[in-house]
Structure 1
């Protein structure tokens, strides 16, 4: 009886699939940049090229829902690809044995960590706990310029991996995406056990921190102590203790994601049930990692700057309340300079008048005539305080429009914009602007308050110039609460929250689980997360493309059934209008 040869332990990968993986992982320029980071003119030739490592990691991610495992990558490169590809990647022939695997794994692991070292913006040692005093000395002795350069390389390289995943959607994005984007920071765990923040040591992943689902997500131990209104020694109530126990906490990072979505289309299918090709799926265009709650605005600006560098357009930009609470010089002003039009929601203590310039009042993000009636200014606060009902609130928001300053021209290169008095622009009647009186009896009449120093500048002139710094923290492009604001803000915010859940699906990428990225440090976590986000993008794009008819043939899959939503214009800060339910 003749013995049959044993079947291969690893499924063979065709050369065409290796080439495709290499092309899809990132562009040739990024591969060349990574190769230059670890290039040495002297010494032995490498037993694995950077291109080979990237191809192996991409093939591994495709087989394991975006997860990159170095042992699986080793097996793919050493025994699954053809001898021709191994020669191309300078991989020597090795037996499929313990010694052969260990030798191959050492090569893969060494090159992987050399790449990380060249991109790591942190000098702190990983995989062991170190004393905080030692960590402070190490950080103080570091070259801050070199660390900044590494951070830029890490951002550029990892976002190139994500950008490459958009290739199959590029033509649809170019035609149907206006550049509108939602930013959000979502927590992910790291492969390390957290330690007490007030303790003497750092964790084995010293770049991570504690996330708490309260406030701005920062670790309470890192915040300034606040005086308690309770008497000294008073115990927390049972409800307070229960809320504290139930608050979600994890040790890891905040992943700041930029998600593309065109809010002009709601995704409703055509009458025949086919999807609207203009409603492209929400996908990640950029990301970065940082400790939870640390500089959310600055991190979003870094991501969006790289998104624009790669040639993507700028449209509306929506974020949660953590972003419009940022320092304007770190988020609001830089993103407006990049071309984005900001759309925000507000906390209850941020409602009403937010700023003023030349007599004009900023009310919930927009500039208004100083004679705007007080009930219109306090409409949203009055609704929260149950002083008015929802229908009255909607009517008062609409009644603000005639009092709104009118743009005279587009902002200049520095962001300064000339704005017209609404009476001078024919929107309002005002006794201080004689030519406006009696022009149209349907227009509301302003009642400016007398002033001993004379009228404000906006009332004495037809136009004023508003500097970009004026009211920068709360400025937004749309009237708060208006139907246009509801359409843009909620569609963008829903898109980013949906993608967070999509990529955290435990049977797919499961980006929140620490076991999917088993290497510590911000560089390793960012690099491995890039493969997961790219895989989530491709999974979503492929599913959407399968629902589109091609060459007059029926689609391969049915579109996802949309859940019923409330009509635009029915939202209020305290719920939808009752008559629209």
Structure 2
């Protein structure tokens, strides 16, 4: 929702860049300039189907534009702001947001185009590129052979969409559990690397002082003695060190 006097080039920035009327640098600059003309939220909707109270961007303690119809608060910061041109303000065509302190808007009308980031900005582009790559990677993993392999019809040889959906759901749950387990294992390995290690665990064949593979004893004695000899020895080698 924008001020009715928002310059038209700012409102048609997306359409212009799609038609190659302007380049991407100009588009980004216009998107950034357009933020100042967005209506400010005075009161959020209290119910999902309620109304949100918005006010003119030239009102309030933090105005983002200046307008001949509005008197700026004395406490507002003294800085340069975009200015609404007087010739665009014809009294008989003024919008409700221009004649009242605030106006109510249906939340259902605002939710559909609403996004967490302003459309077309670098922040929006960076987030959605990452999100899109994540989704595509997830789809590829689910369809890959060897694990869930949901692309193979033989994994769900049942009749009916409902029955197939149950099998797909089971495979998706298994996929999520497998990824969570892998993540926790990676975190545990990372924590172990960052934790000072204690004394190394002694191998069993070193604890028993007998290496059958090289036919030597742990004390450097090259004579070969089997386990029975060690047990009968008057001075048996210790089982633990």
TM-score normalised by structure 1 residue count: 0.30
Partner of 1:447: 85
2: CA distance, partners of 1:396 / 1:386? 15
1: CA distance, partners of 2:190 / 2:154? 43
Partner of 2:52: 417
Per the TM alignment, residue 530 of structure 1 is displaced from its structure 2 partner at its CA by 1.4
Per the TM alignment, residue 402 of structure 1 is displaced from its structure 2 partner at its CA by 0.8
Partner of 2:66: 429
* Pairing 1:542–2:181 present: yes
Asked if 1 retains the 8 angstrom alpha-carbon contact of 2:40 and 2:56, the reply is yes
Partner of 2:98: 459
SS in 2 for 1:465: strand
Aligned residue runs from structure 1 range 248-267, under 5 A: none
Partner of 1:480: 119
SS in 1 for 2:68: coil
The structure whose residues are more often helix, as a share, is 2
Rg larger in 1 or in 2? 2
Q: 1:399 to 1:436 in 2, by over 3 A?
A: farther
1: CA distance, partners of 2:71 / 2:187? 60
Asked if 2 retains the 8 angstrom alpha-carbon contact of 1:397 and 1:482, the reply is yes
Per the TM alignment, residue 508 of structure 1 is displaced from its structure 2 partner at its CA by 1.9
TM-superposition CA deviations, 1:3-23 (whole Å, max 9, x none): xxxxxxxxxxxxxxxxxxxxx
Asked if 1 retains the 8 angstrom alpha-carbon contact of 2:5 and 2:89, the reply is no
* Pairing 1:533–2:178 present: no
Q: Name the count of aligned residue pairs.
A: 189
Partner of 1:376: 10
SS in 1 for 2:92: coil
Partner of 2:109: 470
Aligned residue runs from structure 1 range 57-72, under 5 A: none
Per the TM alignment, residue 452 of structure 1 is displaced from its structure 2 partner at its CA by 5.8
Asked if 2 retains the 8 angstrom alpha-carbon contact of 1:429 and 1:439, the reply is no
Unaligned runs of 5+ in 2: 195-241
Asked if 1 retains the 8 angstrom alpha-carbon contact of 2:6 and 2:37, the reply is yes
TM-superposition CA deviations, 1:181-204 (whole Å, max 9, x none): xxxxxxxxxxxxxxxxxxxxxxxx
Per the TM alignment, residue 485 of structure 1 is displaced from its structure 2 partner at its CA by 2.7
Unaligned runs of 5+ in 1: 1-366, 556-581
2: CA distance, partners of 1:531 / 1:469? 35
SS in 2 for 1:546: helix
2: CA distance, partners of 1:534 / 1:540? 10
Partner of 1:515: 154
Moved more, 545-554 or 417-426: 545-554
Partner of 2:229: none
SS in 1 for 2:69: coil
TM-superposition CA deviations, 1:135-159 (whole Å, max 9, x none): xxxxxxxxxxxxxxxxxxxxxxxxx
Per the TM alignment, residue 471 of structure 1 is displaced from its structure 2 partner at its CA by 4.6
Per the TM alignment, residue 391 of structure 1 is displaced from its structure 2 partner at its CA by 1.0
Per the TM alignment, residue 488 of structure 1 is displaced from its structure 2 partner at its CA by 4.1
1: CA distance, partners of 2:190 / 2:23? 54
Per the TM alignment, residue 443 of structure 1 is displaced from its structure 2 partner at its CA by 0.6
Per the TM alignment, residue 550 of structure 1 is displaced from its structure 2 partner at its CA by 5.5
1: CA distance, partners of 2:147 / 2:191? 32
2: CA distance, partners of 1:431 / 1:399? 19
2: CA distance, partners of 1:554 / 1:422? 53
Q: 1:546 to 1:463 in 2, by over 3 A?
A: same
Q: 1:408 to 1:371 in 2, by over 3 A?
A: same
Q: 1:483 to 1:416 in 2, by over 3 A?
A: farther
Question: What is the alpha-carbon root mean square deviation over aligned residues?
Answer: 2.6
Per the TM alignment, residue 551 of structure 1 is displaced from its structure 2 partner at its CA by 9.3
